[in-house]
Structure 1
Amino acid sequence: MLETVVFDVDDTLYDQQQPFRRAVQKVLPFVSPNDLNALYIRYRVHSDENFNKVITEEWSLEYMRNFRTIQSLKDLNYPIIEESLALEFQAVYEKELDAINMHEEVRKTLDYLKEKEVPMGIITNGPTDHQYKKILQLNLLDWIDEENIIISQATGYEKPDPKIFQLAAKQFHLDPEKSLYVGDNYLNDVIGSKKAGWNALWFNHREKTVENAAKLQALELNAFQQLPTAIKQLF
């Protein structure tokens, strides 16, 4: 019997690709519209692979952000851009993030869980100030207590390290075997939470293919519209 649900933030509680696309169109107009999805995927890959270097202070946050933009374009055979343009992209992207909105189906899901008095929490990777700003923009404190929010930079751990899930279990006072983690990233969210003994829901609305994904016995959804029904069935 599940008792608690904990969410990722980026591309789980809102559509992260929308502000990314708008920033690309404004700052990097040479990118073909047909490449926007592929560029976004590469951007997320480089973010996930390299943010730990910021936590360990091997890289500065600015360097990591510039690298992920420059390298993502390079991956798709675009010319290498100047760091000044990468910095401009980051600034515009952050401004676009100020306008993010929660998907209506996510709102319905959170309302249902609050009505049922199901404890909720957040575990998200990223810079503390940057992620907390998104949390405020999405009004997540209307549903989730502030003490039930963990942002990786503030802990020294990041998903998929099981230690961040173990920290959440202790801080949120939950039983991992009776808890569900919901996230869009198979490595960070599914593998990480399962290794820590949690149940997992892979919110695969980007319809990514992962080899041997079924072996971890994670529930998989492919659209925001499926989320309320799935949560109602589980809780």
Structure 2
Amino acid sequence: MNPDFIYFDLDNTLLNHSSAETNAQRVTYESYPELQRVTLDEWLNAYRVNNHMLWSRYQRNEIDRHHLQFSRFHDTMKELNMDTSVSSEIGSAYMTNYRNHWIWVEGAKEALERVSRKYKTGIITNGFKETQEKKFEIMELNRYCKTFLISEDVGKMKPHPAVFDKASDMAGVERNKILYVGDSYVSDIEGGSNAGWSTAWYTGFETDMSNGNRNRASVTFSDFATLTNLLDV
């Protein structure tokens, strides 16, 4: 592996989105009796199904971000026969709680520090602009990276080619000299591979390790020490 530029995904690659989401949902659930008509696990299961469906529709440009933000709580509460009049308030409370639980993925901060000493680095992320920019600030990512791309600024979400075309231009190097490190096989590995980049698939959050036809990644790793060893940093 001899890249000239390394991009990292953000959520569940550098920042532990899964733990932040779970902890924020728990605190929100405990704060609102309206949610406690069902168990926390029942609430989380229903929310995650709806949230995934809405993000998929958003990715296909079938709905806008405001519809997504409103509906993921409203529709889940309606499905569970809860009082939806407080759904917007609960959604706002969740976002506040979510910001209070941001932590690094284990080993990611140290790896990024070491990689950034030797390589030019950047971040590419889906997600809402103001939330992702706040993560950049809280995590002090500008200490390690000079190039940041939020897909909302492009008007498309990974793995759309427009995101990777823009990122390629921003990197300023040949496409075959770009490495992309990310956790999502479709958004990061397929998206990066289709753009002519090398890819490193982080599987620390992957639950289905049968992989099937998931063989396009240049490197697969579950521990950031593996990545730093491969990059000789």
Relative to the length of structure 2, the TM-score reads 0.81
2:33 aligned residue: none
1:115 aligned to 2:112?
no
Write the deviation string for residues 111-157 of structure 1: whole angstroms up to 9, x where unpaired. 111222x0101111122222111111111111111xx1111111112
1:96-175 pair list within 5 angstroms: 96-99=97-100, 100-116=102-118, 118-145=119-146, 148-175=147-174
Closer/same/farther in 2, CA of residues 80 and 199 from structure 1, 3 Å limit: farther
Matched, 1:233 2:227: no
Q: How far 1:17 moved relative to its partner?
A: 1.9
In structure 2, how many angstroms separate the alpha carbons of the residues matched to 1:69 and 1:84? 11
Secondary structure of 1:149 counterpart: strand
- 1:94 shift after superposition: 1.9
Q: CA deviation at 1:43?
A: 5.9
Match of 2:52 among 37, 45, 53: 45
Query: Cα gap change, 1:218/1:142 in structure 2, threshold over 3 Å: closer, same or farther?
Result: same
- In structure 1, the partner of 2:17 is 16
Specify whether residues 149 and 44 from structure 1 end up closer, same or farther in structure 2 by C-alpha distance, changes over 3 A only.
Answer: farther
Matches within 5 A, 1:169-184: 169-184=168-183
SS class of match (1:123): strand
Moved more, 89-98 or 38-47: 38-47
- Please report how far the alpha carbon of residue 38 of structure 1 lies from its aligned counterpart in structure 2 after TM superposition: 4.8
Question: What is the aligned partner in structure 2 of residue 63 from structure 1?
Answer: 67
Shift of 1:11: 1.6
State the identity %.
Answer: 23
Contact 2:29 2:40 in 1 (8 A): no
* Whole-angstrom distance in 2 between the partners of 1:152 and 1:113: 23
Distance 1:24 1:198, change over 3 A: same
Residue in 2 aligned with 1:95? Answer: 96
Q: Contact between 1:97 and 1:134, CA under 8 Å: does it hold in 2?
A: no
RMSD across aligned positions (CA): 2.8
| C-alpha distance in 2 between matches for 1:208 and 1:193 | 21
Q: 2:123 touches 2:148 (CA, 8 Å); kept in 1? A: yes
* 2-structure distance, mates of 1:135, 1:7: 12
Aligned counterparts of 1:176 and 1:72: Cα–Cα separation in 2? 42
Q: Is the 8 A contact 1:183 1:189 kept in 2?
A: yes
Q: 1:216: which partner in 2? A: 216
When residues 109 and 19 of structure 1 are mapped into structure 2, their CA distance, relative to the original with a 3 A threshold, is: same
Q: Which moved more, 1:182-191 or 1:96-105?
A: 96-105
Which ranges of structure 1 fall in alignment gaps of 5 or more residues? none
Q: Deviations over 1:55-102 (max 9, x none)?
A: x5x53423212323455678xxx6154544432332223212333132
**Distance in structure 2 (CA, Å) of the matches to 1:39 and 1:183:** 26
* Cα distance change on mapping 1:121 and 1:91 into 2, 3 Å: same
**In 2 relative to 1, CA 89–157 (structure 1 residues): closer, same or farther, beyond 3 Å?**
same
Return the alpha-carbon distance in structure 2 between the equivalents of residues 9 and 40 of structure 1: 22
Q: Distance in 1 between matches of 2:219 and 2:42?
A: 30
How many angstroms apart in 2 are the aligned matches of 1:35 and 1:206? 21
Opposite residue 58 of structure 2, the aligned amino acid is F
CA contact (8 A) 1:124 1:150 kept: yes
Deviates more, 1:27-36 or 1:90-99: 27-36
Q: CA deviation at 1:193?
A: 1.0
